[in-house]
Amino acid sequence: MRRVNQKDIDAPFERPPEPNRPCQHPDCEEHGLYRAPVARDRLNQYYWFCLDHVRAYNLAWNFFAGLSEREIEHQRRHDTVWQRPSWPFGRAGERGAGPDGPRIRDDFGFFSDGPESFRARPLNDEQKALAVLDLREPVTFQDIRARYKILVKKLHPDANGGDTAAEERLKAVNLAYAALKISFA
């Protein structure tokens, strides 16, 4: 088994040997070991300074110098997503969304009876009636009856002080219950 030296461990983190380049600050005779960007629009081009001069350069550096508030805000927002494109999450108008909300493509039928295209299946009358009662298949008639009783008590005009919206909802619930009663008979 080979022994690992500390030098082997530190090797990837060591700085490569620097050429003997002079500091680019005028009247400086030291080596330019530290880089500093030339300008905001040329971040891959560098000045090479000694430690004292790179510190002074960094203190005076202002990336946003000369930009308006709007440009600064745009740059900040662009940096929050690492300069990658982004889109609004969960908005109407997203790709694949329809009037009933977003749809998924279920090619293998994991979420339905079989493979499905981008178009949603239309609801039949029984499913519409169940939706009015806030129920989903599979359901028994006892479940339908229990839900109907709860909704009638909740939407009855005596319980709502004559609220017309509750009255209209109660009419829809009565019609849905009548349709389901026939289909389950």
Between 91 and 56, where is the model more confident?
A: 56
Between 92 and 61, where is the model more confident?
A: 61
Can you tell me the mean pLDDT for 105-124?
61
Q: Judge contact between 173 and 133, C-beta under 8 A.
A: yes
Beta bridge partners of 36: 47
Q: What is the largest CA-CA distance in the chain?
A: 100
- Closest by CA to 48, choosing from 26, 27, 23, 65, is 23
Bond from prior residue into 17 cis (ω within 30 degrees of 0): no
pLDDT at 125: 82
pLDDT at 149: 92
- Distance, in Å, from the CA atom of 60 to the CA atom of 129, rounded to the nearest integer, reads 71
Question: pLDDT of 14-55, one tens digit each?
Answer: 555 566 889 999 989 999 999 999 988 888 899 999 999 999
- Closest by CA to 177, choosing from 150, 144, 146, 151, is 144
Helices (H) and strands (E) in the chain, counts: 7, 4
Amino acid at site 111 = F
3 state DSSP class of 16: coil
pTM: 0.37
Question: pLDDT of 126-181, one tens digit each?
Answer: 888 888 888 888 888 898 899 999 998 888 888 888 788 888 888 899 999 998 88
Q: Judge contact between 147 and 180, C-beta under 8 A.
A: no
| Structural domains of the chain in order of their starting residue, each with its CATH number | 19-80 (no CATH), 125-184 (1.10.287.110)
Beta bridge partners of 104: none
Confidence of residue 69 (pLDDT cuts 50, 70, 90): very high
pLDDT at 93: 46
- Closest by CA to 130, choosing from 176, 184, 181, is 176
